[in-house]
A and B are shown apart, each in its own frame.
Chain A
Amino acid sequence: MKIRESFPERAENPISGTIVKYLFFLCVLISLLTTAGILYSLLSQAIGFFFEVPLIDFLTGTRWAPILKPQAYGVLPLVCGTLLVAAIAAVVALPVGLATAIFLSEYAPDKIRRILKPLLEILAGVPTVVYGYFALTFVTPQLQKLVPDMLVFNALSAGLVMGIMIIPMVSSLSEDAMLAVPRSLRYAAYALGSTRLEVSLKVVVPAALSGIIASFIIAVSRAIGETMLVTLAAGATPRMTFNVFDSIQTMTAYIVQLSLGEAPHGSLEYNTIFAVGLLLFVMTLIMNVIGHLVVRRWREVY
């Protein structure tokens, strides 16, 4: 922009200049079309479903049995399972992620930071199907030693591993927010005699709070949309329960289960995945929008 103002624009080659500009614009258009495509594909198939199953029954029904007779299309058990796993993950990841971020930004010497950051990046880069394997073959057997009557597929082990999976997300976003807090605030607090703990918790964390909360929201929304881990480790029995030792089913796991099955294209069973997908999309969208709004609304500008 600045260049345009300071230099009178040279007459551009009308052909290459314009063609290139519109070609680049077409590229931008693709990302807009992606959103349109998501909305179109979810809505067009879900509408067929909502003609046969009223929206209110879908959202408030407490039994989800789209394949077995008698069929029932109440999505609440899937929502319940999804939130249960996400809540367990949040209990693990939010405190641990925040403490990791504080350690990285306030305590760790540069050398240790340079080792820790790539390790956390690897943790974030491990495919979720690998975490599913880990939950099923390692964490569940270990937990079963403590709680013998726990089922093989259970919400707890999926939730715990998912918590570990989203730690890097919480820690890196929170750390970014903390690094943006100016040094002068810290020095001022130290000059008043604060300890490192007091500087961290009473100065840096409050100043970075908007970014920290946003990192929490975005990480939980990621947990809600996570698929392979819960498909492998949490089970395939949709039920309304808050018992963490029970087998449950999440919205994402249901979509995978039905995609692998033989439901004919266009049938009511088939369209359920788009109705569930639409609900999942709306839930994560709302959380992401809130996350971005929190950053925008409460960001302290230094």
Chain B
Amino acid sequence: MSLQSNKIFNSHLRSRAIRGMVFYGICLVCVCIGIAALGTLLVQVVSDGWSWLTWHFLSDYPSRHPEEAGMMSAIFGTLWVMAMTGIFAVPVGIGSAMFLEEYAPKNKLMQIVEINLANLAGVPSIVYGLLGLAVFVYWMNIGRTALAGSLTLALLVLPVIILASREAVRAVPNAHREAAYALGADKWQVIRMVVFPGAFPGILTGSILALSRAIGEAAPVIAISALVYITFIPTSPMDRFTVMPIQIYNWVSRPQEEFQNLAAAGIIVLLVVLLSMNALAIFLRNKYQTKSDE
């Protein structure tokens, strides 16, 4: 009897082991799908765009003729917009995080704030574009300018920056705050001299990652800027502008193959910028992490 059940058990074990192997294989294939797609995408972009990536591509304005076209106005537009987005969004994000983590009372209003933040993070980016169009461009009469685009992108990345900053603030050990209080510091001094310095690396990393997301966004900026043929560098926040993803969109949507290759060259530039920002964020994170471990 026991021999028999043992036999059944063993035969099961074998088929279960096989099933396990099959499942492992399926999982492995699934993991590879994403990575393979990423690899194919990069190879495709580089092979299409590499030969178009020349100095004149970086230093010329867009043109009707693909061989004369460059993306200088888009590069400088992106620089303008990113700088202003950072100036608007980062301080507000830090302030929000400080209030929510250090001051916020537990009441209905704060519950609403929490729910609101969670939902804002899920709003499609094109809806932010419509917000910017209605509020900044027409209601405040800022016009289709770099300023309106930056304000819109600042609102878009604000929930991300708040989230990252809150995590960084929360990671500052309570013992540090208590020590400062014990030395007679008041709340503002504790925040200024203990919490902020302790949270700074995390805030910096989160802000860089949030801004790198904003650099790749095209949808909200298209709703704001509309015009995509710009042959000048913005000299003030009130100038019309274009950014790299819009220029790329413009080139991809043309039927001629030369323009598609130009788009690939533009994508290489965009990806290099994004990857270096990500690398910088990771570098900063690692640098400060090892320091705090010592």
Structural contact, B103 and A133, CB atoms closer than 8 A: no
CB distance from A99 to the nearest CB of B (A): 4
Q: In the complex, what residues of B have CB within 8 A of residue A123's CB?
A: 34-35, 37-38
B41 within 8 A of partner (CB): yes
- Looking at A13, A120, A227, the one whose CB has the most chain B CB atoms below 10 A away is A227
Q: How far is the CA of A84 from the CA of B127 in the complex (A)?
A: 20
Of the residues A28, A45, A227, A273, contact of B96 by C-beta under 8 Å: A28
Task: Tell me whether A280 and B124 are in contact in the complex, defined as CB-CB below 8 angstroms, given that A197-B23, A265-B138 are known contacts.
Answer: yes
1/0 per residue A18-46: CB within 8 Å of B? 00110111111011101101101110110
Roughly how many angstroms separate A42 CA and B135 CA in the complex, as a whole number? 10
Asked if B188 CB lies within 8 Å of chain A CBs, one says yes
A interface residues, tally (CB under 8 Å): 98
With a cutoff of 8 Å between Cβ atoms, the chain A residues found around residue B252 in the complex are: 129, 132-133, 136-137, 232
Excluding A7-B182, A128-B219, A280-B124, 20 further A-B contacts by CB distance (< 8 Å) are A9-B187, A10-B186, A13-B186, A42-B131, A42-B134, A103-B27, A103-B30, A116-B31, A119-B35, A122-B275, A125-B212, A126-B41, A127-B217, A129-B252, A137-B252, A197-B23, A197-B24, A225-B126, A252-B219, A255-B130
Which positions in B face A, CB cutoff 8 Å? 16-17, 19-20, 23-24, 26-28, 30-31, 33-35, 37-38, 40-41, 44-45, 48, 91-96, 98-100, 102-104, 106, 112-113, 116-120, 122-131, 133-135, 138-139, 155, 158-159, 162, 174, 177-178, 181-182, 184-188, 191, 212-213, 215-219, 222-223, 226, 228, 245, 248-249, 252-253, 260, 263-264, 267, 270-271, 274-275, 278, 282
Enumerate chain A interface residues (CB-CB to B < 8 A).
1-3, 6-7, 9-13, 16-17, 20-21, 23-28, 30-32, 34-35, 37-38, 40-42, 44-45, 95-96, 99-100, 102-104, 107, 116, 118-123, 125-134, 136-138, 164, 167-168, 171, 195-198, 200-201, 218, 221-222, 224-228, 231-232, 252, 255-256, 259-260, 265, 273-274, 277, 280-281, 284-285, 287-289, 291-292
Closest 9 CB pairs of A and B: A225-B124, A127-B216, A27-B95, A41-B134, A24-B99, A99-B30, A227-B219, A288-B122, A103-B27
